[in-house]
């Protein structure tokens, strides 16, 4: 949980489903107190797909064995149809309720004050209305909102239990966190539970291991993906696909190092402002030896690494036209420490490639593309297989264009994303257009240019023929953006591709091109990544296809299976023809029965199985089976090769 409190206005805007789930958290707390009266509750918000409540229960550790009785008690409370009643109280009244144990309890609890509620009361600003909600005997410190009666809270399910530090702070007590979910109808709840079961079967971590697609090794490091041969084939096919499309659209492929000097990221503004999400800088050996001899401590070292020269401060502030680097970050040149960062993003390197030679308006747009690996520091608890990692490869590109070219270039980027999604059968998606909040100081640059860029993004999004929403305040600090949110085959949403317009970095790096008036002009920069990252995209694809990849993506496209050794000679010839045709094929002539061989191929999710026995050998044909369609009949090997070659070439699903 974030320690940031929501305002009363933000709470009032809670959706109907979140209002229901918020109420269910109170019903769950009531049920827990009926079973364990000494429970001390902290907070219980709605979250994506459910709700939770954090609490301390010293004399009992909740386990899945307790879920059934908690649910049974919750259903009793729902049947009692208790009213959710709001009551405003003074700060003194609220403190008295908490000290008596009544706040967050069913009754007064002498000697057992509501310690977390007392702490939360201190966080409520002076002058803000303090309110409680009561259902039955349970009174809670809460600003709401809630449904009218507990009878609405009958379609509930306890999902899991975990540990969580109070307020997310490791220095504070560790509490129990009980998760649940709720829906307006039983049908919706049942559908959600079925979806969760299906998600377990499709879990990319499980399938990735079974299909030998990737490996995470403790000695290498958590969040760092080892692409095994099967997974590398999947990734390479995706890269080949996007590379073909990039060539058609006039992109130039580039390669950049995995590290860069800290001054590069000081100029871009990424270091040290985003240092919490970056790996620590690497200091050159000579400098490290020198500062050790000087007795430089860790705090001083980090200060010197994050500092800038007076010259760089002056240049950046002058270019941007406002104070983006404050004076307190300046140190004398002999005190500055330069180091290297594991590349947290590719854009500064691409900027340097653009700026490595003079540019004319006739050269624009310049489109630079790279499958560039970047590194971000993620907390270990946030890592999740391939979808949340510390090192990932972006199908990244940066376009440098004139103001007049922005609209067409954004359209081109969106068409590329659309080609990618349609080819992979991901037709169910929506688009978010992130706009600036005019009242926020987060967004920098000329308002007129922002207006033009936002209008270009709106018009481009409208051409896609899918729903899109405008979200003020969700732009990047340097310009508006368009995000693609994909819904997979079981209804889950994933944020994948993105297109972002950037007016800030060209200014910070003082980029220019010579215009038709023979004067320097500032280019506009567009960031785009249709896949987002190869790791995340492949993780989503594994789950989307449940490991049953179409033939063009499958690491193993065809497996030749012999019925007996009498067919080995012809089967070996079939295998050789498949390999000669450029297909990814294997040959299983083990002594196992054919049923076992087919079952093994099915488990490995090989799209095509060619069964070869004496009958097939006699007519120079193969019995074709598909992993999902079953028996496709007997075909001459030449016909099968022609058919699958066309299927792969056309990237059919």
Catalytic center residues: 347, 376, 394, 396, 398, 481, 527
Across 221-244, b (16+ Cβ under 10 Å) vs e yields eebebebeebbebbbebbeebbee
Are 614 and 564 contacting, i.e. CB atoms less than 8 angstroms apart? yes
Are 251 and 242 contacting, i.e. CB atoms less than 8 angstroms apart? no
Cα dihedral 499, 355, 350, 375 sign: negative
Nearest to 205 by CA among 190, 181, 222: 222
Matching residue, tokens 């958590």: 222
Are 529 and 497 contacting, i.e. CB atoms less than 8 angstroms apart? yes
Integer Cα distance of 326 and 343 in angstroms: 25
Which tokens is 504 given?
């800030």
Angle between helices 91-99 and 115-122 (to 10 degrees): 160
Query: What CA dihedral angle connects 149, 155, 160 and 165, to 10 degrees?
Result: -20
Instruction: Classify 372 as helix, strand or coil.
Output: strand
Angstrom distances, CA of residue 140 to CA of 74, 410, 646? 17, 50, 65
Q: Is the peptide bond before 145 cis (omega within 30 degrees of 0)?
A: yes
Report the length, in residues, of the chain. Answer: 653
Matching residue, tokens 């979806």: 195
Angle between helices 568-580 and 637-649 (to 10 degrees): 30
Are 42 and 95 contacting, i.e. CB atoms less than 8 angstroms apart? no
Strands (E), 204-336: 214-215, 226-227, 252-253, 259-261, 282-283
Matching residue, tokens 């079953």: 630
Are 504 and 479 contacting, i.e. CB atoms less than 8 angstroms apart? yes
Q: Residue 22: CB partners within 8 Å, gap ≥ 6?
A: 14, 44, 45, 46, 51, 144, 145, 146
Distance of alpha carbon 483 from the chain centroid: 12
DSSP 554: -
Rg of the chain over all Cα atoms, to the nearest angstrom: 30
Cα dihedral 393, 344, 256, 484 sign: positive
Nearest to 94 by CA among 117, 115, 113: 117
Are 560 and 578 contacting, i.e. CB atoms less than 8 angstroms apart? yes
Residue 621: enclosing H or E segment and its boundaries? strand 621-626
DSSP 216: -
Nearest to 234 by CA among 201, 206, 255, 207: 207
């Amino acid at each position: 949980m974030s320690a940031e409190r929501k305002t009363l206005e933000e709470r009032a805007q809670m959706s109907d489903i979140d209002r229901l789930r918020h109420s269910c958290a109170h019903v769950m707390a009531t049920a827990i107190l009926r079973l364990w009266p000494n429970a001390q509750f902290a907070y219980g918000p709605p979250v994506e797909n459910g709700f939770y409540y954090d609490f301390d229960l010293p004399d009992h550790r909740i386990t899945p064995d307790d879920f059934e009785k908690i649910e049974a008690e919750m259903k009793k409370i729902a049947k009692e149809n208790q009213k959710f009643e709001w009551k405003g109280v003074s700060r003194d009244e609220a403190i008295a309720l908490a000290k008596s144990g009544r706040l967050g309890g069913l009754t007064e609890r002498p000697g057992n004050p509501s310690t977390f509620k007392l702490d939360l009361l201190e966080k409520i600003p002076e002058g803000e209305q303090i309110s409680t909600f009561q259902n039955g005997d349970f009174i809670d410190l809460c600003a709401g909102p809630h449904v009218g009666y507990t009878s609405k809270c009958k379609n509930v399910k306890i999902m899991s239990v975990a540990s969580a530090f109070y307020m997310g702070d490791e220095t504070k007590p560790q509490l129990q966190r009980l998760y649940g979910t709720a829906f307006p109808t039983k049908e919706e709840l049942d559908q959600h539970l079925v979806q969760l079961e299906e998600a377990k079967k499709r879990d990319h971590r499980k399938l990735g291991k079974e299909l030998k697609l990737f490996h995470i090794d403790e000695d290498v490091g958590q969040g760092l993906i080892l692409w095994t041969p099967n997974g590398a084939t999947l990734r390479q096919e995706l890269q080949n696909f996007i590379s073909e499309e990039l060539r058609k659209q006039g992109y130039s492929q580039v390669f950049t190092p995995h590290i860069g000097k800290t001054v590069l990221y000081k100029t871009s503004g990424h270091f040290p402002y985003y240092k919490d999400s970056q790996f620590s800088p690497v200091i050159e050996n000579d400098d490290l030896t020198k500062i050790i001899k000087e007795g430089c401590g860790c705090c001083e070292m980090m200060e010197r690494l994050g500092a800038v020269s007076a010259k760089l401060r002056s240049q950046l502030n002058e270019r941007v036209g406002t104070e983006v680097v404050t004076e307190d970050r300046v140190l004398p040149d002999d005190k500055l420490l330069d180091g290297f960062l594991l590349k947290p993003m590719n854009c500064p390197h691409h900027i340097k490639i653009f700026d490595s030679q003079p540019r004319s308006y006739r050269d624009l747009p310049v489109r630079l593309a790279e499958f560039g690996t970047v590194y971000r520091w993620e907390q270990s608890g946030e890592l999740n297989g391939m979808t949340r990692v510390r090192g990932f490869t972006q199908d990244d590109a940066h376009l440098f264009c004139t103001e007049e070219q922005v609209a067409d270039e954004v359209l081109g980027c969106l068409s590329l994303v659309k080609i990618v999604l349609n080819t992979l059968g991901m037709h169910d998606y929506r688009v978010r257009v992130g706009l600036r909040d005019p009242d926020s100081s987060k967004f920098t640059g000329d308002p007129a240019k922002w207006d033009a860029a936002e209008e270009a993004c709106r018009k481009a999004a409208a051409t896609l023929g899918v729903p899109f929403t405008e979200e003020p305040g969700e732009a990047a600090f340097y310009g508006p953006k368009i995000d693609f949110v994909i819904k997979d085959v079981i209804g889950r949403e994933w944020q994948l591709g993105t297109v972002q317009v950037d007016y800030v970095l060209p200014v910070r790096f003082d980029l220019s091109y010579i215009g038709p008036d023979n004067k320097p002009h500032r280019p506009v920069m567009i960031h785009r990544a249709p896949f987002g990252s190869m790791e995340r995209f492949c993780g989503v694809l594994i789950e989307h296809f449940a490991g049953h990849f179409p033939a063009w993506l499958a690491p193993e496209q065809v497996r030749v299976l012999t019925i007996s050794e009498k067919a080995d000679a012809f089967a070996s010839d079939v295998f050789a023809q498949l390999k000669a045709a450029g297909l990814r094929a294997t040959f299983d002539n083990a002594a196992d029965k054919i049923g076992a061989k087919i079952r093994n191929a099915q488990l490995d999710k090989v799209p095509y199985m060619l069964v070869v026995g004496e009958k097939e050998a006699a007519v120079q044909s193969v019995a074709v089976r598909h992993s999902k369609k079953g028996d496709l009949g007997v075909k001459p090997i030449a016909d099968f090769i022609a058919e699958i070659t066309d299927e792969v070439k056309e990237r059919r699903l």
